[in-house]
Amino acid sequence: MKRVILALALTLGLAGTATAQQKVGHINVDELLAIMPETSTAEAEIQKYAEQLEGDLTEMQQEYTTKLQNAQANQGTWTQLRLQKEGEELQAMEQRMMAFNQSAQQDLQRKQMDLMLPIIEKAQNAVNKVAEDNGFAYILDASPSKAIVIYLDGGDDVMPLVKAELGIK
């Protein structure tokens, strides 16, 4: 019985020692992505695309407003049938604008993912290389927006190493 307890104690002691020797690092991924030059290029392209979509929607809204004002101005002179048709067209235009707005938001999110994914992958590859080259067992994301690391005291900040790996000063 004493041998079993002794063996268990030694095993736990060795496991604790092995765990204590693992290197843990951390990096603020939000900050890393923000300083990568590709990010500002992608953000500019996303902003430009968003402005184009907004311009298209504004044109649709102006067309709708013009048609509505025309219908209101001619309400006294148009036949009931014509007013009904104009009302149906206005409703159809409203539905098209709502559908366009939803599609535009989805398309903008898709564009953002398409442009940002290669940048995120590049950052991830750099973190992986730094971890392998420097013997880290874990690298945690310490970005405030992620709330993955809620307390940080110790470990190594690998930001300088990853910046060097990416060629960022």
pLDDT at residue 152, as a whole number = 65
Mean pLDDT within 21-50: 94
Percent of the chain with pLDDT over 90: 72
pLDDT at residue 20, as a whole number = 54
Mean pLDDT within 152-161: 82
Q: What is the pLDDT of residues 99-151, one digit of tens each?
A: 999 999 999 999 999 999 999 999 999 999 999 999 999 898 988 888 676 66
Burial of 22 (0-12, 13-18, 19+ CB in 10 A): exposed
Q: Say if residue 40's pLDDT is above 90.
A: yes
Average pLDDT taken over every residue of the chain: 87
Taking residue 142's Cβ as centre, other Cβ atoms within 10 Å add up to 21
Pick from 119, 90, 105: nearest CA to 29:
119
Every domain of the chain and the residues it spans = 22-166
pLDDT at residue 21, as a whole number = 73
Question: 43 near 112, Cβ under 8 Å?
Answer: no
Helices (H), the chain: 2-20, 29-35, 37-73, 80-134, 159-166
Banded model confidence at residue 157, pLDDT cuts 50, 70, 90: confident
With tokens 């695309």, the residue in question is 49
CB-side neighbour CA atoms (13 Å) of 75: 5
20-24, 53-57, 154-158, 159-163: which has the highest mean pLDDT? Answer: 53-57
Q: Say if residue 4's pLDDT is above 70.
A: no
Q: Say if residue 64's pLDDT is above 70.
A: yes
Single pTM value for the model: 0.73
Whole-number Å distance between alpha carbons of 26 and 157:
5
Mean pLDDT within 14-32: 75
Mean pLDDT within 80-98: 97
| Residue 71, token pair as written in the block | 């219908």
Pick from 1, 72, 132: nearest CA to 162:
132
Banded model confidence at residue 10, pLDDT cuts 50, 70, 90: very low
Cα 94 to Cα 13, 59, 90, 104, 115: the distances in Å are 70, 13, 6, 15, 31
